[in-house]
Amino acid sequence: MASYPGFFIRDGLGQQPGQQADGPASPDIILAGTCPAPDPGSFATPRGYATDYGSAVYPGVPNFVYLRTLPPIGRAWFYWAPRDLVPWPQSWQSAGVTVAGAPCNHQDLTLTAAGQVCVTDPYAWQPAPSKGCGYSFLAWIENRPAEPPQDPVAAFGPAESWERLIAFQSGDGDWAWRNVVDVSGLGVNWSQSVDVTGPTDVPGVFIIGLQCTNMPTDGELGFVLTSPANGGSGANFPLSPIPEPNYRGAVEVTDWPGGAAASLTVNYRQGAVAPPKGAGIEAVLAVPIGNLSAEVAALAAARPDRLITDTGIEMSFIVGALVFRF
């Protein structure tokens, strides 16, 4: 088994720019529930900035979402997507999102003091009854906003390959992702599944695996990646003891066809010690930089927050992840 760490932009409390975090769990995408926050300014206080307000979604009614960011100022775009291990830009949606009652998924951020934490007004989003694996949430901070506003994700267009996805994820602007499943109430044994959608081009080699954060060592963990319906093999990591709290394990997938989709199921069996609050298991998909063109590899290398060096084959770029959090 190979091993690796986690990844990118303020996807963990206390993270600084350029540091890796504990997966796609951005605390700066704030799901505030079915009513606007009585004091949104509290999200920007030192205590608020050090708080993760969770990922609860209430289907069929308006949900109120706030985005926050440190300078530089710019324009904040909010999106949602059906939950998948890989956030392809063509899956990012703004349907059902409004600002001040009008269909809109962007707001300008105004800086009034040096070092200020900026918080948007609420985005209202009304999800349909949840289907399949649920939702993930994404934010794009446009550092040099176009006038008039032009959706940066729509302007980029679909990505059909790992190369184009990495170019999107490494491009101008900062983005954050909240792709979290709360497993704290699932009991001592559970299995959770997530869709895994590959590129329409033949993907070549990629790496898929799990990373633990502060997990008890008397538990067991494994996963199964199903074989795509249109051929190729999946991957199987049998249920095995967790040897150390920040255990990392990955396998190489070499023969997926283009346009394939499958499902990743993570299996956990608790021992005598329950995971502490905040512990987690992160499912990660990464692409070896050696498989990329020189131009895209240079873009990837400029994002150290997304690079992993101990996958067992070579330096790789994390393109997707999901956190199961206790």
Q: Are residues 197 and 174 in the same domain?
A: no
Q: What is the pLDDT of residue 14?
A: 57
Residues 171-176 have a mean pLDDT of 74
Identify whether residues 40 and 160 lie together within a single domain.
yes
How large a percentage of the chain has pLDDT more than 70?
A: 88
* Shared domain check, 221 and 177: no
Query: What range does the domain containing 242 cover?
Result: 182-325
224 and 177, same structural domain? no
**Rounded to 5°, angle at Cα 223 from 183 and 132:** 55
Kindly report the CATH number assigned to the domain that includes residue 263: 2.60.120
Q: Does position 65 have pLDDT exceeding 50, yes or no?
A: yes
Mean pLDDT of 15-32: 74
For residue 297, what is the enclosing H or E element? helix 294-301
| Pairwise CA distance, residues 308 & 29, whole Å | 25
One domain, residues 55 and 176: yes
- Which one-letter amino acid corresponds to residue 284? V
Q: Which range, of 31-45, 51-65, 169-183, 186-200, averages the lowest pLDDT?
A: 169-183
The total number of structural domains that make up the chain: 2
Domain boundary pick from 147, 181, 215: 181
DSSP per-residue codes, 89-129:
GGG-B-TTEEETTEE--EEE----STTPPEEPPPEEE-PPS
The predicted-structure confidence for 190-199, as pLDDT tens digits, reads as follows 999 999 999 9
Residue 22 lies in a domain: no
Query: Facing residues of 21 across strands?
Result: 7
Residues 197 and 315 in one domain: yes
Across the chain, what does the average pLDDT equal?
88
Find, among 308, 321, 326, 324, the residue nearest to 138 by Cα.
321
At 141 the pLDDT is 87
First and final C-alpha spacing in the chain: 25
Predicted local distance difference test score (pLDDT) of residue 12: 55
Q: Indicate if the pLDDT at residue 7 is higher than 60.
A: no
**Of 165, 181, 197, the domain-final residue:** 181
Assigned domain for 11 exists: no
* Confidence check: pLDDT of 2 > 80: no
Identify whether residues 81 and 219 lie together within a single domain. no
